[in-house]
Structure 1
Amino acid sequence: MVAERNCGACHGERGVSAMPSIPSLAGQQREFIALQLVLFREGLRDVPAMQAPADGLTDQDVEDLGAYFAALPHAPPPDRAPQDAAAYAGGEALANQLRCGVCHLPSLAGQNQVPHIAGQREEYLAEELKAYRDSRRHGTDTQMNGVVQGLSDAQIEQIAHYVSQR
């Protein structure tokens, strides 16, 4: 199924993306991947690049893809930027203030339908957080939109840096 849908072309052959703004899927929550694929398939999440790969997926395909990526070992992207101590500390303080660890767990490894965000691509995290803040993206609820409401681009970039370095 992974080869048939050509998932590795963007998300990496072993689920670790080497492409800017494309998320890594290795070690992601099985339930989260399945949910996102259903949202893509049903046209409820608008990501044009995912429309064709999700088109025609059966419920079993969705479950199988979720299980496949969840079973792959999580790894940081090969081109991860070096840690910036000030940005990391600022992002850590903001993540604690916003209580990211409540839903994503203290390790930021996620749970069930809440994604594993630790070690994710930094630019992807920043783009998604800005999309939540600006109401261009919604999860299955509006909780993320509310959490990041009012954050500046600089604050979001600090959070993204911190999370990507975990």
Structure 2
Amino acid sequence: MRRLWLACALLSGWALPAAGQTPAERGAALAEARSCGACHGERGVSATPEIPSLAGQQAGFITLQLVLFREGLRDVPAMAAPVEGLSDGELEDLAAYFAALPHAAAPDRARRRVAAYNNGAALVARLRCGTCHLPSLAGQNQVPHIAGQREDFLAATLRAYREDRRQGSDTQMNGVMRGVRDSEIDAIAHYLSQR
């Protein structure tokens, strides 16, 4: 009976987890099969405007976002097909893979705009970003790693929170960003991207 089940599984195209593989290894295979690198970059470092890097991101955060995409609770059309039909375990494997990758390369300090960087640092302190994202801005659990993220992605995301076009698992970020001006968002995004 077991042989019949295995034969049916193989013929139907089901992917059987390889014995002894870690969640990150299974996630790497899934990322390859689902072409995650086409948008999020090889090894999770995005070169695509307004697409986040996932390398070194918090596994809990990635898992949560993938569940929200899969369940249609977060509307990002480009993410519908990649998560379609994935189990909770497969989403956790993908998250484990990206979390295990080294975080994006150090920012290009030559691109640092000193006034924007300093203004962004002051705003991050005033808005108490380090309370949830930690003082290092590396995030924790379901709170994302925001230091070193793409500047354009950060600015677009912060604007979306401010304008209630995006919500996380709660509305805390929407409240934090309410009333923050575009120039301030740009400074925050610059500072975070340069960390």
Structure 2 length-normalised TM: 0.83
Sequence identity, in percent? 70
Displacement of 1:76: 3.7
8 Å CA contact retained: 2:107, 2:193? no
Structure 1 residues 55 and 7, CA, compared in 2 at 3 Å: closer, same or farther?
same
Amino acid corresponding to residue 51 of structure 2 in structure 1: I
- Structure 2 match to 1:63: 92
Separation of aligned partners in 2, 1:106 and 1:49:
32
- Structure 1 match to 2:136: 107
Count of aligned residue pairs for this structure pair: 166
Structure 1 length-normalised TM: 0.97
8 Å CA contact retained: 1:18, 1:79? no
8 Å CA contact retained: 1:28, 1:69? yes
Amino acid corresponding to residue 66 of structure 2 in structure 1: L
Structure 1 residues 10 and 77, CA, compared in 2 at 3 Å: closer, same or farther?
farther
Separation of aligned partners in 1, 2:116 and 2:107:
20
8 Å CA contact retained: 1:76, 1:120? no
- Structure 2 match to 1:21: 50
- Structure 1 match to 2:159: 130
Structure 1 residues 24 and 152, CA, compared in 2 at 3 Å: closer, same or farther?
same
Separation of aligned partners in 2, 1:53 and 1:80:
34
- Structure 1 match to 2:145: 116
Alignment of 1:157 onto 2:180: no
> Which structure 1 residue ranges, 5 or more long, are not aligned?
none
Separation of aligned partners in 2, 1:23 and 1:53:
15
Displacement of 1:78: 8.0
The structure with more radius of gyration: 2
State the 4+ residue runs in structure 1 displaced beyond 3 angstroms. 76-81
8 Å CA contact retained: 2:70, 2:80? yes
Separation of aligned partners in 1, 2:109 and 2:144:
19
CA RMSD between the two structures: 1.4
Separation of aligned partners in 2, 1:58 and 1:86:
46
Amino acid corresponding to residue 17 of structure 1 in structure 2: S
